[in-house]
Chains A and B, each alone.
Chain A
Amino acid sequence: MRDVSIVGMGTTEFGVLDAGVKDLGVRAVSRALRSCDVSRADVDALYLGNFVAGILEGQENIAPLVADSVGLTGIPTMKTEGACASSGIALRQAYQAVATGVHDVVVVAGVESMTSAETTEFTRALNSAADTQTEGKTGLTFPGFYGLWLDRYMYEHGTTREEVAAIPVKNRKNGATNPRARFRDPITIDDVVESRLVADPLRLYDCCPAADGGAALVIAASDRARELTETPIQVLGSGHASGRSGAYRYDDLTTLDATVTAATDAYAQANISPTDLDVVELHDCFSAAEIGDSEDLGLFEKGEGATAAAEGVTAVDGDVPINPSGGLLSKGHPVGATGIGQVYEVCLQLFGEHENQVDGAELALTHNLGGSGAVCTVTVLGRDA
């Protein structure tokens, strides 16, 4: 297995962009290629993550269309889909292709266009990530899944609604200074606990907003990375696991196995422990998800994730900075673009150039989760030595 580095990156803002998936993908990939010294002829393949363009836009076969539109005609391409982890999976596949020597230089992209969809079509598309034969039929939504999660969690740990609300408050504060975020206005604990119920005990401000967006990386074998950029970022660990198909399938609903497994694999490969990490971008599709993710990633003991946020431990200047970008709760969740968007944010941290810079960040993690904990990718990244 060869070492793999990120040598280029590009992104759009996340928000209401009035553009389709192909154009968003083209913008992100073009920007990634322009950010480094990679020529079109250097690129061996393109992997693109997307979730619902087929349903919402009637547009499939996106990967070769984007490749042709950016001057990469002829290379092998493929789309990866794993709901909200679609582009985390794209990165995983591209990483494996380079690590095993199949390819030397690969473009990885994630893209989604959602905000112009009618509400009915939009919810139908998002719910396609759940098992339509079981919980989908029952009427459980994704906020509903995390409503169940949080109900059980609060019952087991005595966590208060105000402690949970500290998470969206923190992430919205971070997002206020991130020009790539959809939401850039801070909120208060009262705003969260007084916002309307969506899926008890989850309220509106516990939920991430939809967004349009595209993000892309160029990755390469590390022994070639310095030819292609002055500032490579090394992929130190990569984990990918599947989990359970619904809430009823968990013995312990508050532990999402896919995260635990993917993180364990990524930590082992990187030869680190969670306490070594300087900065984390994790999948906070809901406030409850950030609590569980942070515990499943081994950053906190069970029952401590919410209190850690309430006590400032996960703030940009805290001991365990989580989602300094503002996370999905602020940036928004252009589903297929989210995983690569997270990597973009931590690369800025490792360059020392993020708007919400964590002092001296050298070791970072991204965590991308799809469905009801059905699939997860975890990536550990570090400055190239």
Chain B
Amino acid sequence: MSIFVDDDTRVVVQGITGGEGKFHTEQMLEYGTNVVAGAVPGKGGQEVAGVPVYDTVDEAVDAEDADASVVFVPPSFAGDAVFEALDTDLDLVVAITEGIPTQDMAKVNKRLSEVDTRLLGPNCPGIITPGEAKLGILPGNIFESGDVGLVSRSGTLTYQVVSNLTERGIGQTTAIGIGGDPIIGTSFVDALEAFEADQDTKAVVMCGEIGGEDEEQAARYIAQNMDTPVAGFIAGRTAPPGKRMGHAGAIVSGSGTGTAESKIGALNDAGVPVGDTPNEVADHIEDFL
């Protein structure tokens, strides 16, 4: 089993004719994902890697019966691309683009509250259900099908932790990158809720980082609602206040909120062991299984 995507998911790639869009469409197809259409304004009628391209997402969804989209559109147009996707009643939109202005995302976030679509990202590596489908840029070969769910704010950290799991023969139900920006669609809580409801997910890894209070909220959710055991990791213990550490969201405010200490404390209070190293996270998961 899996959450959010499986081998029935039918995908439109927005920005499929660009360098990244084309390369990752090929990678997704190779992985077995049903990429059924591309959408690029003015490029309708073309084909990329055997996939038909349409001028609008609406046309693509109608013609190919798609239910998800992946956005590989440059940051200056990406907010608009997500709006376009949200206008077509898709189940899932995955925004890979890094560097979308925060105020554009605030407007997207507002629209999101008015529609029935799930948004993942932006600035995320995407989502993968090993052996079934991947939507995004994750390297498929490090994942293996199994019974651990993973949700993370960081792409490369996801790869690191997954490789620690896979090396020990621990596979994954679904791995989700929720993105490192201040305003994102799907939160830790949303992902945890879905993993809790999934019969096949026996344990969950949650990788957070400094900035914001999403991890603290997740900790409260875990304490109150989850039977599935969770192990955590928090990046940025050594980050100095006031500096942006790569991710737009990874900034510790001067007033002390959003620190690694506060997040680790909240998770520990919720009964979630937090590894000092990615390898220790895998130790905790091994203990749960």
Answer whether A and B are interacting partners.
no
| Residues of chain A having any CB pair with chain B under 8 Å | none
